[in-house]
Structure 1
Amino acid sequence: MFSRHVRPAVLCAAVAMAGLGAPARAPAEPLTLADALARAQVRSPLLTAAQAAVAAAEGRARQAGLPPNPEAGLQSENLAGAGQYRDFKSAETTLSVSQRLELGGKRRARQAAAVAEVEAARLSAAIAKADLDQEVAARYAEALAARDRLSLARETAERAESLAKAAAVLVEAGREPPLRALRAEAASREAAAAVVAAEAEAEAARRALATLWGEAADAVDLVDTPAPEAVGARGVDPAETLDARLARAERRTAEAVIDRERAAARPDLTVQAGVRRFQQNGDAALVVGVSAPIPVFNRNQGAVAAARADAAAAEARERLALARSIRTLRDAQASLVAANARVEALRGRILPGAETAVDLARRGFEAGKFSLLDVLDAQTALTTARTDLIAARLERAKALAALERAAAQ
């Protein structure tokens, strides 16, 4: 048994919980969520590819407005034959220029389809940006959560080590049975292993974040900024979200392609003018002509039918995109409400209750009413509550990012 003077010191050693001190490390650049978003917008290969696709569509639109090039021709007749045509003395040489004239509004229809494709490409680039913003926000939240779990794991490991040492002292003094020391030692080793796993998880989360702007993990210090205000899904028109607008643009593009293919079925005229020189007497004369294809076999009917089928499919996708937009907005709003409720419950009731239980277990143990096992269980419950709060905050951040993405216009 302990003397009255020795007992308080031993009891305090049994329940001491040392605060976690972050290990010394090289100075790192602070990185807020806004900074991460800005880096991704400037450096992301995904956005570079999307912007290149827009530039390609714009180039095709410029090409669609150009007329056909004129053609130059040189033709010689009545040479290398028999009799008086044996040589070049009776040859007739014609130098001509021909120009194909596009009829039936081909160029106008071609330009309209190309402009519609540019609009769709720009909306696709905007969607790529919105998707990137969502992924950056989600991975930033995951990196923050991994950092917080690492801090909690280190704190838990240090507490478990202190309890294991105190348990050994108490068992040796006869205050606790040997089983308590074995359990405390096992908990300490498990907590130490959890620190190693949490360190690997935190490093992987930082690498995943840095990958979004095409780099290896930077030496950054994540800044836990206050959560932004959620957008209101009720004030967003589902028909004006990016996904619905892209589907509408693709439907318009498909309709413009129908007009383009119909116009392509109309025959063009080719006019020709030239000068013919008669080698035998040196005379010259003008040559003019007009030619046009006869649309007997190929009236571009297959391409028109395919364009109509593509337009029907695009119209169906537009209806589906609108339905999905409505569902995504509602689901994201509901997820955010649920995540907020869970965070508030953990932060407002569960976590304070767990902290109070640990405090009561400490005092009860000091008064001899509780065992070391009671203190260990209370601390485990507190660690679980803190872990759940970290997970709830992560869910809230992801739900907010999903709602921002669903409401993007």
Structure 2
Amino acid sequence: MFLSSIRRARLCAAVVAALGAPFAAAAEAPGAHPVDHPGPHFTLAEALAWAQARHPLFASYRAQLQAADARAVQAGIRPAPTLNLTIENALGTGEVSGYSAAETTLGFSQLIERGGLRDRRIEAANAGRERLSTDAEIARLDLRAEVARRFVHVLSDQAQLGITREATGLARSTLAEVERRVAAARAPLAERSRAQISLERARLDEEHAEHELASSRRHLAGATGSMEVDFGQAEGDLLHLPPVADFEVLLRQLQTTPDALRFASEARLRESELRLAQARRTPGLTLGAGIRRQEATDDVGLMFSASMPLFGASRERGNVLESDAQLAQVGPERELALLRTQAQLNEIWQELNHARVEVEAQRERVVPAVEQALDQTRYAYERGRYSLLELRDAQA
């Protein structure tokens, strides 16, 4: 059964991992690398490798991770020292007119960060980079799920095209048989008209199937990062049914998916942001030293300075409370997401088991019986025992 959303396809990753599906295993095979000149057949392993190699999503995340690395470097830079030049008592009036009574000070100052502020900045930047890395892994799995879904769609459309071509062949042979019977005056002319209509409808269905296949191949090309359909016929076995793992096994594996681990990265990021906000409550200390020259006496002296902002702790109170609240929000969000994904995983698991039962019933009992009924109906029709309507029903 086909799932219509990438979100549900991502949840299927735990199921696929437990099933050990040959498609997933083939994707990791040594030959699963993109080729310059694709062969006549195109496998899922090749499709996944092509997407990994050339889809712009990966280039985008590589650039984002480089930007995150740059932010971590920037967070580790200490405050730059400051060079100050001050001229006092110059260009005034009276005794301080001109420059004869001026005092010139050349000073140097440095902000000393306290409370481990630099370490907290680096920690927050690294935590942000870690969360971005987790998001990149989730996006990678999303893309793999999309490629797999599109690949299965192509396989399905190829099979559907084969069915419509078989139906066209049946309609063509039926028309030939009807014409033979009409020529022998064993069937009315109306039967030939009905057989011709059936053939035209079969041809239209075949043409529609060709369009559907062309569209699904275009979607698969886009999922692999290509503007052109530059691959051959998709190759795979849709009827291979690997065993379905127990639901409890899949549920345990769900705990280790990137979606679940993202909350751990989110918690570490919020914790680091909280510690950074707390560190900013400790004000920095600016120390300065310099040389002062008095023009009036031609004397030179040293000067020292120290400064610290006031009420730093109270000014950061809101940021600390906000960071603390955001950290407390991670736990409930994780539990809420787990409740939802458990229900979705169970739904997918039930669908897999039902689909397996349905496919086995169709393949082992229904299809053989239908084929036998078609052969019997065709045999009886050729001998005039069944009508054209009964033959068409058997063919359908």
Normalised by the size of structure 1, how large is the TM-score? 0.81
Q: Letter of the aligned partner of 1:270 in structure 2?
A: T
Where has structure 1 moved over 3 Å in runs of 4 or more? 226-236
The residue that corresponds to 1:235 in the other structure is 249
For 2:220 and 2:48, the matched residues in 1 are separated by: 10
2:186 partner SS: coil
The residue that corresponds to 1:390 in the other structure is none
Deviations 1:215-239 (A, max 9, x none): 2232322343344846745435232
The residue that corresponds to 2:262 in the other structure is 246
Instruction: Verify: 1:257 aligned to 2:264, yes or no.
Output: no
Q: Letter of the aligned partner of 1:377 in structure 2?
A: D
Deviations 1:324-350 (A, max 9, x none): 343343333222222222221111111
Instruction: Verify: 1:44 aligned to 2:55, yes or no.
Output: yes
1:364 partner SS: helix
> Could you say if the C-alpha distance between residues 242 and 228 of structure 1 is closer, same or farther in structure 2, counting changes exceeding 3 Å?
farther
Deviations 1:266-318 (A, max 9, x none): 21101111111222343222111110000179521222222122223222211
The residue that corresponds to 2:336 in the other structure is 320
The residue that corresponds to 1:198 in the other structure is 209
2:315 partner SS: coil
Instruction: Verify: 1:121 aligned to 2:137, yes or no.
Output: no
For 1:68 and 1:229, the matched residues in 2 are separated by: 60
Instruction: Kindly indicate whether the alpha-carbon contact (under 8 Å) linking 2:96 and 2:102 is maintained by their aligned counterparts in 1.
Output: yes
1:216 partner SS: coil
Instruction: Verify: 1:189 aligned to 2:200, yes or no.
Output: yes
Instruction: Select the residue among 293, 314, 324 that pairs with 2:309.
Output: 293
Deviation at 1:29, TM superposition (A): 4.0
Q: Letter of the aligned partner of 1:250 in structure 2?
A: E
The residue that corresponds to 2:13 in the other structure is none
For 1:178 and 1:43, the matched residues in 2 are separated by: 60
> Could you say if the C-alpha distance between residues 297 and 216 of structure 1 is closer, same or farther in structure 2, counting changes exceeding 3 Å?
closer
1:143-158 mapped onto 2 (5 Å cutoff): 143-158=154-169
Identity %: 34
Instruction: Select the residue among 314, 325, 344 that pairs with 1:309.
Output: 325
| RMSD of equivalent CA atoms | 2.2
Deviation at 1:128, TM superposition (A): 0.7
The residue that corresponds to 2:379 in the other structure is 363
The residue that corresponds to 2:357 in the other structure is 341
> Could you say if the C-alpha distance between residues 354 and 45 of structure 1 is closer, same or farther in structure 2, counting changes exceeding 3 Å?
same
For 2:354 and 2:140, the matched residues in 1 are separated by: 27
For 1:140 and 1:195, the matched residues in 2 are separated by: 21
Q: Letter of the aligned partner of 1:43 in structure 2?
A: R
1:377 partner SS: helix
Instruction: Kindly indicate whether the alpha-carbon contact (under 8 Å) linking 2:47 and 2:147 is maintained by their aligned counterparts in 1.
Output: yes
1:174 partner SS: coil
For 2:150 and 2:393, the matched residues in 1 are separated by: 33
1:176 partner SS: coil
Instruction: Verify: 1:273 aligned to 2:309, yes or no.
Output: no
Q: Letter of the aligned partner of 1:332 in structure 2?
A: I
2:232 partner SS: strand
> Could you say if the C-alpha distance between residues 217 and 344 of structure 1 is closer, same or farther in structure 2, counting changes exceeding 3 Å?
farther
1:137-148 mapped onto 2 (5 Å cutoff): 137-148=148-159
Instruction: Kindly indicate whether the alpha-carbon contact (under 8 Å) linking 2:40 and 2:232 is maintained by their aligned counterparts in 1.
Output: yes
Deviation at 1:356, TM superposition (A): 0.8
Runs of at least 5 residues in structure 1 that lack an aligned partner in the other structure? 1-26, 381-409
Q: Letter of the aligned partner of 2:338 in structure 1?
A: L
Q: Letter of the aligned partner of 2:352 in structure 1?
A: L
For 1:244 and 1:219, the matched residues in 2 are separated by: 36
Q: Letter of the aligned partner of 2:107 in structure 1?
A: S
Runs of at least 5 residues in structure 2 that lack an aligned partner in the other structure? 1-37
Aligned residue pairs total 354
Bigger drift between 202-211 and 237-246 goes to 237-246
1:130 partner SS: helix
The residue that corresponds to 1:72 in the other structure is 83
Deviation at 1:118, TM superposition (A): 1.8
1:93-172 mapped onto 2 (5 Å cutoff): 93-172=104-183
1:220 partner SS: coil
Instruction: Kindly indicate whether the alpha-carbon contact (under 8 Å) linking 2:120 and 2:279 is maintained by their aligned counterparts in 1.
Output: yes
For 1:61 and 1:267, the matched residues in 2 are separated by: 22
1:311 partner SS: helix
The residue that corresponds to 1:400 in the other structure is none
1:261 partner SS: helix
Deviation at 1:31, TM superposition (A): 1.3
Q: Letter of the aligned partner of 1:78 in structure 2?
A: N
For 2:393 and 2:156, the matched residues in 1 are separated by: 24
For 1:284 and 1:228, the matched residues in 2 are separated by: 92
Deviation at 1:362, TM superposition (A): 2.1
Instruction: Kindly indicate whether the alpha-carbon contact (under 8 Å) linking 1:80 and 1:87 is maintained by their aligned counterparts in 2.
Output: yes
For 1:88 and 1:342, the matched residues in 2 are separated by: 100
Instruction: Select the residue among 87, 90, 94 that pairs with 2:98.
Output: 87
